[in-house]
């Protein structure tokens, strides 16, 4: 069968087709998320979105939802809001996580100023700015390729995977979806290990004491998730091992713990809070805690560690406690983000 063609159409220059030529590259930093306020309403909306994610809570919906809506969302927003209020950025009226993630985006924009066709932006998996809104914004700016950068050094289905899930849900809504890449976990990258080591050394130099023990505290996940094959625990242990090797410390000097457990099931151990209590009772007087699994300081580091863990340790007999800040948008932290971003942009710029 022969198809009829319009000679004029056949002769039309390719450039007349709308948006036919390669355009720009969007680079989207993605962090976990944050409520828009500490009041009950914003906390309820944030927790509902977060705790409704089947990657986060691996329970049948018929079993979990009555617990979520009948118990968790009636009590936890008030408690979580009070904790957020302790660390809230009053000047900007936002959580520190939002402040630092925006800062990382701004610093990265400055560092990639030599790349004319790259647009940098930032999004949250839960809350605002949403992944979908930022994807649509980048596409609207002419980006036909997007590099997404999940800001989780160690991979877990509860973090990296669900961030990528949300990206592809956003793409499903677009008629013309851009090509995408995702920055892989960087738990063992030399630039990341070196940045952590330099940040730790810099902070320890400001203290008026030398810690006997330094705990690398990572966000935990339920043990059954790990048993099913999630590599998160192995990634955390490898980060600690490489960091210990880089700093020249012993296994007793730098230990690994896991924090932020939720619910009744067993999570990855040893638990950070129980370890703080045990060390205090065993006679350790000086300790510091670093959070290598968090790219930015947030509720889990500024309230749970810098405040709660401190109180537990001091109450158990400890005398000196220090929380070592996350990399945030520091020069060390931005060295990591820039190095990995430039590597993953290769072939697109």
pLDDT (tens digit per residue) in 43-81: 999 999 999 999 999 999 999 999 999 999 999 999 999
**pTM score > 0.95 for this model?**
no
Q: Summarize the annotated binding site for Fe(2+) as residue ranges.
A: 219, 300
Question: What would the CATH number be for the domain defined by 190-324?
Answer: 3.40.50.1400
pLDDT band at 159 (very low <50, low <70, confident <90, very high): very high
pLDDT for res 15: 46
Tell me the domain boundaries of the chain: 24-186+332-345, 190-324
> What are the backbone dihedrals phi and psi of residue 61, each rounded to the nearest 5 degrees, phi first?
-60, -35
Partners of residue 147 on adjacent β-strands? 27, 181
Q: Mean per-residue pLDDT for 321-325?
A: 98
> What CA–CA distance (Å, rounded) separates 222 from 218?
13
The side-by-side arrangement of strands in the sheet containing 179-182 is: 118-127, 24-34, 143-150, 179-182
Is the pLDDT reported for residue 23 higher than 90?
no
pLDDT for res 180: 97
Partners of residue 218 on adjacent β-strands? 258
What is the chain's mean pLDDT, rounded?
94
Q: Summarize the annotated binding site as residue ranges.
A: 219, 300
Assess contact for 26 and 121: CB atoms under 8 A: yes
pLDDT (tens digit per residue) in 173-229: 999 999 999 999 999 999 999 999 999 999 999 999 999 999 999 999 999 999 999
> What CA–CA distance (Å, rounded) separates 85 from 171?
35
pLDDT (tens digit per residue) in 239-270: 999 999 999 999 999 999 999 999 889 999 99
Q: Mean per-residue pLDDT for 264-292?
A: 97
Is the pLDDT reported for residue 7 higher than 90?
no
> What CA–CA distance (Å, rounded) separates 119 from 184?
20
> What CA–CA distance (Å, rounded) separates 44 from 76?
8
> What CA–CA distance (Å, rounded) separates 325 from 256?
17
DSSP string, 180-209: EEEPPP-TT-HHHHHHHHHHHHHHHTT-SS
What stretch of H or E contains 348? Answer: none
pLDDT (tens digit per residue) in 97-147: 999 999 999 999 999 999 999 999 999 999 999 999 999 999 999 999 999
The side-by-side arrangement of strands in the sheet containing 286-290 is: 254-259, 213-219, 286-290, 320-324
Is the pLDDT reported for residue 3 higher than 70?
no
Same fold, 24-186+332-345 and 190-324: yes
Is the pLDDT reported for residue 8 higher than 70?
no
pLDDT for res 20: 61
Residue percentage of the chain with pLDDT more than 90: 92
Assess contact for 124 and 150: CB atoms under 8 A: no
pLDDT for res 299: 98
Q: Quick one: tokens of 271? A: 């638990």
Query: Dihedral sign, CA of 41, 44, 47, 50?
Result: negative
> What CA–CA distance (Å, rounded) separates 42 from 58?
24
Which distant-in-sequence residues (6+ apart) come within 8 Å of 74 by Cβ? none
3-state helix, strand, coil in the chain (%, to 5): 50, 20, 35
Q: Quick one: tokens of 49? A: 């979105």
DSSP string, 203-255: HHTT-SS--SEEEEEEE--BHHHHHTT--HHHHHHHHHHHHHHHHT--TTTEE
Question: What would the CATH number be for the domain defined by 24-186+332-345?
Answer: 3.40.50.1400
Assess contact for 218 and 301: CB atoms under 8 A: no
Which distant-in-sequence residues (6+ apart) come within 8 Å of 107 by Cβ? 329, 334, 337
């Amino acid at each position: 069968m022969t198809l009829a063609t319009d000679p004029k159409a056949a002769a039309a220059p390719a450039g007349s087709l709308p948006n036919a030529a390669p355009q720009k590259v969007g680079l989207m930093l993605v962090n976990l998320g944050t409520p828009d306020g500490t009041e009950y309403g914003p906390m309820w909306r944030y927790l509902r979105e977060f705790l409704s994610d089947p990657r986060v809570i691996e329970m049948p919906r018929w079993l979990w939802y009555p617990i979520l809506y009948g118990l968790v969302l009636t009590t936890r927003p008030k408690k979580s809001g009070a904790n957020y209020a302790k660390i809230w950025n009053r000047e900007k009226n936002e959580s520190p996580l939002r402040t630092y993630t925006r800062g990382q985006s701004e610093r990265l924009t400055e560092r990639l100023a030599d790349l004319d066709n790259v647009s940098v932006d930032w999004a949250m998996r839960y809350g605002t700015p949403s992944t979908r809104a930022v994807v649509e914004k980048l596409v609207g700016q002419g980006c036909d390729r997007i590099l997404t950068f999940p800001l989780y050094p160690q991979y877990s289905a509860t973090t990296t995977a669900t961030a990528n899930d949300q990206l592809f849900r956003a793409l499903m809504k677009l008629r013309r979806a851009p090509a995408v890449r995702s920055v892989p976990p960087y738990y063992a990258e030399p630039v990341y290990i070196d940045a952590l080591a330099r940040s730790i050394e810099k902070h320890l130099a400001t203290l008026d004491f030398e810690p006997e023990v330094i705990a690398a505290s990572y966000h935990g996940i339920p043990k059954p998730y790990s048993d099913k094959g999630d590599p998160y625990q192995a990634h955390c242990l490898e980060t600690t091992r490489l960091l210990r090797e880089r700093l020249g410390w012993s296994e007793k000097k730098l230990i690994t713990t896991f924090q932020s457990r939720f619910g009744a099931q067993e999570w990855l151990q040893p638990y950070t809070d129980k370890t703080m209590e045990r060390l205090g009772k065993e006679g350790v007087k000086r300790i510091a805690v670093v959070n290598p699994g968090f790219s930015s300081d947030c509720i889990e580091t500024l309230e749970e560690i810098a405040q709660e863990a401190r109180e537990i340790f001091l109450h158990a007999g400890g005398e000196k406690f220090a929380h070592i800040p996350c990399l945030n948008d520091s020069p060390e932290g931005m060295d990591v983000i820039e190095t990995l971003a430039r590597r993953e942009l290769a072939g697109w710029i």
